[in-house]
Structure 1
């Protein structure tokens, strides 16, 4: 079995005695960018994970935080968008400047993803409780046309990049269906895929490697990989063995990996192409990941006690 080894680890206390959601990204200088938010909406913050110093904090409170994403702007800056019970809130991720003029407050957004518009500009995608997939300009916050309509409640959304500026918007609903739209014209791509009889709670795009795949997580925390073009399932269902609270994907030395963490505070990893498990020693309730410049990966996990641990991983050289 392949094994991941920790090359460098930093840990600090978030200030809360419960789980916060870590969010990893890359700043304009190429260095890692770490933010966090509490599910109760009490705080959004940016951290220096080497020192544990809070670089900025917004603590005026929101109506709960369901998800968050970084949006890279063409001016070199990075925005932070957070999904709430009321809609979307925005910040400058680097400075912590709150952007109330970009606020969208019309309905509960459960999940967020970042894609690209036909001209290459970023687009923010939101899975809404009213059954729509909403689209906003990632730089101005302006709504982009009517929402893409599925069925029932939309719980999860992702964006799969294809050649050029083409892509596929993928979403999962509370009836276990997966929907697909062409990102260039908003037209549906075939019939909805039947993922499971339960809700599709998470969807993530896997690193392509010539094969446009997604992975979905249902209410029972089973993971299924799909070819987003053909709509066909790929490989066997992965039974995680726990209630998954965090699902992340990254690439390690050219290998796409799938990472999950949940109720039993065990971080699990699989080869996204084969579905085979990869050995890792790690604990946490939620997880987020980003590619590292050296071919490894950075993982941020949070424990049930509010500890945030950021680790740089690579494959064990003797067990690759």
Structure 2
């Protein structure tokens, strides 16, 4: 029996598993951009289901500036000694993390590389994921490749600021890099927790980043200066997922970790708000927000997503379980005609849209 919340189902003729999903708007129409496990990139119109391949110029993925290897030796694009060692980009590694936004009115894709992103390009002595911005219409890279992560990018987002839109990326070693979306210019470098998770938002008129990870705390940072905003906020458990929203005019932080619960905190004071929200059997690994209410969609390994009304601090309906399906391979949330929806990708390539406003 089909779940009544499934509003649309878009099968994939190729049957390849969906690896990642991110929402975007194309020509005024809600869509998602995603990848398959082989690194192939595509967009899907959420009103018609039309799925189109997207190409980006991976030949331009290499960094423009010198990059040190694990022992401090510098790779330089202009050094003849390194000319013969150049490799080819690995699409899967380049597209390890992705998000979409707009720059000067055009849709752009931002990608964060996996642990072996630079290895494929520069050789086995180099590790780390680079951050790149791409024009989604032309496929051309925008600005410089951002390097500095010693391991893979674990979280990636964009946020507006007085200096223009920013890209924030955190990595396995806990390094948070802030760069200008249009140019790739480094704005700030912040040391967070190992296995870094991160989100960003505008709070009281300034862009802030919130970081967590292996340590039982989260920290708030001014994204333009790299300076801490207040002291750290203790969570009592390491943090696997973070989100920031606003409830009743108050900036609110959502965290989740290995205690399998979703918690809400006052972002400024660190004061807990209400009782933890329980429902997952395993550790929550991602939190996605949609709608003005707002509504949160949470993911845990090998479990279907759950939906939460944050204003009422309660779960909305049951898990998002498709008939005869395992848990989805990718999840995101967005809006269609002003209504919040969850979008799930599955092992057979199917994409489903779920009405979650009244789950």
Both structures adopt the same fold (TM-score exceeding 0.5):
yes
Residue 88 of structure 1 pairs with residue 117 of structure 2: no
Describe the SS at the equivalent of 1:144.
strand
Contact 1:41 1:64 in 2 (8 A): no
Distance 1:245 1:203, change over 3 A: closer
Residue 255 of structure 1 pairs with residue 296 of structure 2: no
Residue 117 of structure 1 pairs with residue 161 of structure 2: yes
Q: Give the CA RMSD over aligned residues.
A: 2.8
Higher RCO structure, 1 or 2 (CA under 8 Å, sep 6+)? 1
CA distance in 2, matches of 1:194, 1:14: 48
Distance 1:266 1:154, change over 3 A: closer
Larger Rg: 2
Distance 1:189 1:51, change over 3 A: closer
- Cα distance, 1:12 vs. partner? 2.3
CA distance in 1, matches of 2:294, 2:180: 29
CA distance in 2, matches of 1:260, 1:118: 31
Structure 1 gap ranges (5+): none
Describe the SS at the equivalent of 1:63.
helix
- Cα distance, 1:135 vs. partner? 0.5
CA distance in 2, matches of 1:12, 1:270: 27
- Cα distance, 1:313 vs. partner? 4.4
The equivalent position to 2:333 in structure 1, one of 285, 289, 296, is 289
Distance 1:5 1:76, change over 3 A: farther
- Cα distance, 1:272 vs. partner? 1.3
**How do 1:1-320 residues align onto structure 2 when only pairs under 5 Å count?**
6=5, 8-13=7-12, 15=14, 17-27=16-26, 29-38=27-36, 42-49=39-46, 50-57=48-55, 61-63=91-93, 65-73=95-103, 75-85=104-114, 86-93=129-136, 95=137, 97-99=139-141, 102-107=144-149, 108-119=152-163, 121-145=164-188, 147-150=189-192, 152-163=193-204, 165-198=205-238, 200-239=239-278, 240-251=280-291, 254-280=292-318, 282-283=320-321, 284-285=327-328, 286-294=330-338, 296-315=339-358
CA distance in 2, matches of 1:14, 1:220: 39
Say which structure is richer in strand.
1
Distance 1:96 1:272, change over 3 A: farther
- Cα distance, 1:64 vs. partner? 6.1
Distance 1:101 1:156, change over 3 A: same
Say which structure is richer in helix.
2
TM-score under structure 2 length normalisation: 0.74
Distance 1:245 1:131, change over 3 A: closer
Contact 1:177 1:192 in 2 (8 A): yes
- Cα distance, 1:154 vs. partner? 4.9
Could you report, residue by residue, the CA deviation over 1:48-84 in whole angstroms, capped at 9, with x for unpaired residues?
34234224245962426442211321x2012111211
Describe the SS at the equivalent of 1:206.
strand
- Cα distance, 1:247 vs. partner? 2.4
Contact 2:252 2:266 in 1 (8 A): yes
TM-score under structure 1 length normalisation: 0.82
CA distance in 1, matches of 2:179, 2:336: 28
CA distance in 1, matches of 2:25, 2:17: 26
Structure 2 gap ranges (5+): 59-89, 115-128, 322-326
Contact 1:265 1:303 in 2 (8 A): no
Contact 1:24 1:289 in 2 (8 A): yes
